[in-house]
Structure 1
Amino acid sequence: MIDENVQARLDFMGIGETERATLATISPMIASMIGDGLDHFCSKARATPQTAAFFRDEAHMAKAKAAQDSHWMRIASGTFDSGFYSSVRRIGSVHARIGLEPRWYVGGYALVLEKLLNGVAQRCSPWRRLLSWFRIPSASAASVAIVKAALLDLELSIAVYFEQSQTERDQAIAKLGSALQSLADGDLVTDLHGLPTSFAALEGSFNQSLSSVREMINGVSRSTDGIRAGSDEIAQASEDLARRTESNAASLEETSAALAQIDGRLRATAASSTKTVTRADQAIATVGDGRTTAEEAVQAMTRVSDSAKGIDSVIEGLDKIAFQTRVLAMNAAVEAGRAGDAGRGFAVVADLVSALAMRAEEEAKRARDQLTLTQADIVTAVQAVQKVDGALANISSDVGEVHALLGTMSDDATVQSSAISQITAAIGAMDQATQQNAAMVEETSAAARTLINEVTSLARQTGMFTIESGIARATAVETSTPRAHGPPTATPAPAYRSPVAALPVDTSTRAMTPAGDDDWNAF
């Protein structure tokens, strides 16, 4: 009884009773020709690496050839019953399981059909039909029947192949979807297992990617812990540095103010020193004038002393005159005494002259005594003036030294004032730089705190992943309150078109796959 799945195809392909009867009529021909066709295919299969890889040895190929011969005779019978359909489904399933691509199956049919159609053309020629009294069908009818039957078998087998492949794809997609859902739920432990053989490359790639992601998340978690610890240290150090920088800035500001005061005082000292130097110059000039005056006084007193010596000579002359006058008075008195009364008046005059001479001597003595005192006073005054001159000379020398010292002090004060001005400017620049550094340190501290928050958020997110068997990656959060994470929201997946079906299948891994007795019925 024809299977309903086969019947629908028979109806569409136009394989009716006539075509089935034609197949039954030429089945002996097919039996005699199928061996050559299968030999032709086997020679091609041996020479082609992709197909040769499916055979273990010549015995395996001979067994496959025998199975193919039996299947072709089932096709040639034209019965297309349930046994035929079961055989075709088994062939398609085997093709899908061992990874035999349809190109080789279709190619094998082309090689077999080449021999069959050439043989039919010879055996069903018009003159052979004539000799058989037209009991054999025409070459065209026989060829059409063979081609339709072969295409029916080929289509059923390929349909099963695609059905089986689709089933495997559906299974692979389901398992892959489950694995991806686990991955979306943060499970990085569960690998992808149990995919069909044709998806082994996908399974390996997924598991390798999962392992890489697991290692990456684990590395990110470790790095996050390290970064957070480093960020805490940076933030703490930045805050300490900010406090020290602020203290340094305040100290620099106070130092700058103190230096400004010192600079002002040094400038005032330099100005006072300059004024003092000027006054010292004036004092030196005054002392010089005093010494000149003292020298003039000494010279004047020397002249007075010399004049006094002249007066002493005059007084000495006066003494001599007074002495001579008294001598004359005495002589006159003697002569008056000799004259008696006549000379009495002259005696009176002589007495008066003698008294005047004595008085002149007394006055001369007094003048000499006074002159002696005056000369002594002049000598004392000259000595005093000379002492004053020496003192003024010493004062002039001392004032000169003071003048030099004050000049040096003024120059030093000016240099110190200039140096302190430079130091003040440098400290001002340092103060400004320190304030800028303080601002930068505050920004660094704020950035470090922001980095800590970001790293904490990253650690919280990586903590959602399970990277060890049954153990979630739990990351301690110290700087902020953990955010609540709800379960991941399931998003409806779009209609899936697997790209895996387009991937090339590595047949080398299946070359020596053990096969059952019917594995090569496909040929």
Structure 2
Amino acid sequence: MALNVTAAIMMIVFGVSLAMISSVTARNTESQAILADTLTLETALLRQNSQLRGFLVTADQSYLKSYYEGRDDYDKASAALEARLTDPALQEMVRTSRAETQKWRENWGDKYIEVVKSGQRDVAQQAIRDAGKAVLVSDAVLPLRTVRDAQHEAIAAETEWQDSAIIFGWIALAVGGALLIGMAMVFSRKLSHSIATPIADLTQTMSAMAKGQYDLAIPGTGRIDELGAMAQAVMVFRDAAHERARAVKEREEAMAKIGANLHAVANADLSVRIIDVPPAFQTVAHDFNEAMERLCQAMGLVQDSIMAINLTSGEIQQATTDLATRSEQQAASLQSSSSAMDNLTTQIEDYAKIAADVSGSMVEARGEAESGGKVVSKAIEAMDNVARASAEISDITTMIDGIAFQTNLLALNAGVEAARAGEAGKGFAVVASEVRALAQRATEAANAIKQRVEAVTNHVRSGVSLVNETGSALETIISRVGTVTASISTIAETAGEQSIALRKINRAIGAMDQMTQQNAAMVEETNAASHGLASEAQQLGELVSRFQHGDAAMVEARARAA
């Protein structure tokens, strides 16, 4: 009877201890759930922030979808956490976080998503860069960390209370054992195997569990007595504690991996990836890896574009340099051509004036020749009148005949010289001079004839014939002089037209020279612009080269190392 009473008392004490332990376990479980909800809220906030940045960089709708999912997850988890909390101060922290999150969405998230949707992605990116730390979600995360710290403190307090309950159980066990020592001596052999050994094993197991060893087997779980119930209760506590420790460890490992990868990204390493994370973090890992892949692709395209710009700008620079050299050479050639055309135009105008003067002189010479023809006609008439008295002037007429013949030759030479090119006036002047000399000799011979006219009357008939021939020669000279005059007039008119045409050509060459000078100036400006483009492309290439985005094998190796 006493043994039963003592056993009953011990059972009551153990029940109280187990109730205390169960209560502590329930409270720890609730604290763990609150802690999990708090981590879920922080993850949702970080997800919204990262997806917003991904959408601003790529304008990909998948980032926008993930952003809205993170926002919905946050709203649901926030409402659930507030309902689960019983402490008004912690509830106020949740509401503060929710208000700060709503403010962040209004000022940054939702606002700049709408800006990107309106086609002003560059404006949104610049606003985010200019904002710096203001765009972070720290104000919304800090209240959640306060809640999380409070739960850690609560878990620590409950663990301490659990340790107290275990100590109380130890004390109760010691007291009950002392009371049962006397009675147990009788039944020790019989009960040592059935009661004492399982209790000792269970006690060792509980002590190990109190030290954090949750992977031990619980002895006595197959019993159907009170010790079996105790073992079942301890097993439940062990499983709950083990699951809680595993969940906390997984979350800490996942957050450590995410933090390490984010640190690598902050150091311009885009080759990192998140792998081997718990299922709860698979979505975050997938979104992070997808963002890194797209960012690496974008960086690759940027590098290719920079190489193309460098190549094109080099070609443009070389082409503009060659074009500038050729333009300068062309301008110099045009300037020389313009000067030569000016000189040629002036010379042709001078030739036209000379040809005009020669034409006038030829007209005067023709008039004089026609007057000479009339004189010859009169001389023929006179010679006919004195034919009978001119027989004695045969010698003189022979001389006159020779002079006429030479005059004819000189006249022909004058015609040939006048028909030749540009400086016809000079040759004609020489011939005219000779004609004048012969005319002087003819005058002298005429004087001699006048002196001997009375002695050479019998030779007049021959003189008449010679004078007739002289008249024919003068008519030929008049005809040739007319032809030469017409040719020189044509030359003068042609020279004038050529002068006008050369003036037009000279003006056109001057205009071409001016345009060539303008083209040379524009080529210099283009060359300077190509230099600037090459410099800007080089600077952009240096900035992009700071980012590491290797091949797939490198990415996998970096991810596993992380």
Q: Quickly name the TM-score band, shorter chain normalised.
A: 0.3 to 0.5
User: Scaled by the length of structure 2, what TM-score is found?
Assistant: 0.44
Looking at secondary structure, tell me which structure has more helix per residue. Answer: 2
- Superposition TM-score, scaled by structure 1 size: 0.47
User: Which structure has more RCO (C-alpha within 8 Å, separation ≥ 6)?
Assistant: 1
